[in-house]
Amino acid sequence: MEATRFYALPKLPYGYKDLEPHMSEVQLTIHHQKHHQAYVTGANTILERLDKARKEGTEVDVKASLKELSWNIGGHLLHSMFWSNLAPVSKGGGGKPIGALSDAIEKEFGSFERFKKEFTQASMSVEGSGWGALTLCRQTRRPIIMQVEKHNTNVYPAYRILMVLDVFEHAYYIDYKNERAKFVEAFWNIVNWNEVNKRFEEASK
């Protein structure tokens, strides 16, 4: 089957109420249907603009288009990963890492508590809007925390992203107002460690 040439908003792997009380139905609905959708629409609009210019042989501002495309694709892909590395508490969300990921975190950071502290600090200190991310360097085999500004700045090339936390204000402003720290703390209650470990094992092959 030929892959689609445009992006689409993914369905959530749980209901809009299922992450409560850590993320409310209203917060999740707006974040998914409005903010994430905006990145999908933005990326597709740019692709359509480029397609039209190539077909008609007209000029396009390549630098501006690619910069805007990077922003929107980054937003879409990171959000898609974010939704799937969350899980309701009733379905196993929260707790601690499992399997090979748990062993790798213990080896790299000394303990889960130390990893949690460093990841929290990275997420809290992103300048402006951005993401906290756990990645795997496949050259050194080390799990490394990555602090992403916006959706596309400070990204380590070719690193596999295993887990992300959206710390744009739109991710928490309804539930937590301007208190990013409370949102980050709540995140640890709904991490889908099964999914994160699955990503780690796939990236480690």
Half-sphere exposure of 132 (CA within 13 A, CB side): 23
The confidence score (pLDDT) of residue 4 equals: 74
Do 192 and 86 form a contact (C-beta atoms < 8 A)?
A: yes
Percentage of the residues of the chain whose pLDDT score is greater than 70: 99
The domains located in the chain, with CATH, are 25-87 (1.10.287.990), 90-203 (3.55.40.20)
d(C-alpha 129, C-alpha 148), whole Å: 9
Closest Cα partner for 68 from 46, 44, 35? 46
Confidence at 1, pLDDT banded by 50, 70, 90: very low
d(C-alpha 204, C-alpha 114), whole Å: 22
pLDDT tens readout for residues 54-86: 999 999 999 999 999 999 999 999 999 999 999
The confidence score (pLDDT) of residue 3 equals: 60
The confidence score (pLDDT) of residue 173 equals: 97
> For residue 55, what are the CA distances in angstroms to 34, 58, 113, 202?
31, 8, 55, 39
> For residue 163, what are the CA distances in angstroms to 41, 53, 71, 144, 167?
24, 37, 19, 11, 13
Instruction: Evaluate if residue 2 carries a pLDDT over 60.
Output: no
